[in-house]
Amino acid sequence: MRERLTPPEQQRLLALLGGPENLIIQHESEFLEQTRCPALKSGDAWIQCDIRAVLVGSESVGPEPVLLRRQDQDQSAVRLFHPKKELLLQNVAAEGLDDMSAIIAARPWLEAAKEIISQVDALTLACTARELPTIEIKLFWQALWIAICALVEMRREAQVTEMSRLVASMQASAAACARRGGDRSPQARYSEALLNSRQSLSEHHNSVLGGFQELVEIARTISES
């Protein structure tokens, strides 16, 4: 539903959304053409907000909102959307892949390949030795996966040896995670609980999770169960 807002309402809406710099403001037709969407609806990727509810404070708006303008009978009408979590994650992954590709392109491919393989091997050892809780291993692996994808996209036919080593390292890491996940002995469960308790107690835990509050809460839930 499109809304016709008075100038004071427009200013209030922009203020509630953090200012023009914190959202996309665009003509509807231009946005639809750029995103190649035949129509923007609440569905798989987007959530449409009730602007009136937002103005009175009864509805919140998610990150990266989009305010679309459309001329309607000589007056400007607007709709407000924000992307669903799945689309946000896709965007973050795409941006991360572009950034990582630029980093790899700025150095010799072989050097980057050796470093990524070394990091995969280090993560495998940390998993096997239970130096990190499962949730942190998954987080590190997600970060490494972006680097691996960028590396593979930039490979050449002459780099078969390094690609074989990378595949072998990934297979070893997957096997280590599978063994650890399949170990349901009392000793293994106790060890996992001790690792997760670092997040629950906020003591001696890896700081990489500091910016991922949802993962921290999951870790605390696991350690308290």
Structure tokens that stand for 46 in this block = 């987007």
Is residue 110 domain-shared with residue 194, that is, in the same domain? Answer: yes
Is residue 147 domain-shared with residue 92, that is, in the same domain? Answer: yes
Is residue 161 domain-shared with residue 97, that is, in the same domain? Answer: yes
Is residue 103 domain-shared with residue 67, that is, in the same domain? Answer: no
pLDDT at 165: 92
Report yes or no on 66 lying in a domain: yes
Q: How far apart are CA 17 and CA 68, in angstroms?
A: 14
The mean pLDDT values, 10 residues at a time, for the chain of 225 residues are 85 88 82 63 72 91 85 74 76 74 86 89 88 79 83 80 91 91 82 67 47 45 45
Domain encompassing residue 130: 88-224
Of 31, 56, 83, the domain-final residue: 83
pLDDT at 209: 41
Is residue 16 domain-shared with residue 114, that is, in the same domain? Answer: no
Spatial contact of 63 and 88, defined as CB atoms under 8 Å apart: yes
Spatial contact of 172 and 121, defined as CB atoms under 8 Å apart: yes
Give one DSSP letter per residue of 63-122, joined into a string: SS-EEEEEEETTEEEEEEEEE-HHHHHHHHHHHHHHHHHHHHHTS-HHHHHHHHHHHHHH
Spatial contact of 113 and 151, defined as CB atoms under 8 Å apart: yes
Strand partners, 66: 24, 81
Q: How far apart are CA 95 and CA 83, in angstroms?
A: 16
Is residue 140 domain-shared with residue 68, that is, in the same domain? Answer: no
pLDDT at 40: 58
Report yes or no on 32 lying in a domain: yes
DSSP structural state of residue 58: S
Report yes or no on 2 lying in a domain: no
Is residue 136 domain-shared with residue 39, that is, in the same domain? Answer: no
Task: Work out how many domains the chain is built from and give that number.
Answer: 2
Of 26, 60, 83, the domain-final residue: 83
Report yes or no on 154 lying in a domain: yes
pLDDT at 167: 92
Is residue 103 domain-shared with residue 170, that is, in the same domain? Answer: yes
Report yes or no on 1 lying in a domain: no
pLDDT at 42: 45
